[in-house]
Amino acid sequence: MNKVEIYRGWCKKCGICIAFCPEAVLEADEALYPTVKDPEKCNGCRLCEMRCPDFAIVVYRNEESYPETDSSPGK
């Protein structure tokens, strides 16, 4: 299974990782920090990590379950 870690010390709660996760793995907690709601659903695409402006999220990938996704227009 893939593992998503959020480093609260650097997170500014912008919501980008939550809004654009293609599998809706993340949600905001009461303090508006992202948390992992559904770890099994994570496809390891890493888009949350790549789009975090504050380098506050890292995805540890289980290589076997990694599908090629792209971020071309419309996706």
* Residues near ligand SF4, by CB under 6 A: 2, 4, 6, 11-17, 21-23, 25-26, 34, 42-48, 52, 54, 56-57, 59
Neighbours of 56 (CB within 10 A): 21
Among the listed residues 72, 15, 18, the one whose alpha carbon sits nearest the alpha carbon of residue 4? 18
* H or E stretch at 36: strand 34-36
**Among ligand SF4, other proteins, none, what does residue 50 contact (CB within 5–8 Å per kind)?**
other proteins
Of positions 24, 27, 39, 53, contacts other proteins by CB under 8 A: 53
State both tokens at 30.
């009461």
Quick check: 16 binds other proteins (CB under 8 A)?
A: yes
Q: CA neighbours within 13 Å on the CB side: how many for 57?
A: 26
Contact footprint for other proteins (CB under 8 A): 5-7, 9-16, 19-20, 47, 49-58, 70-74
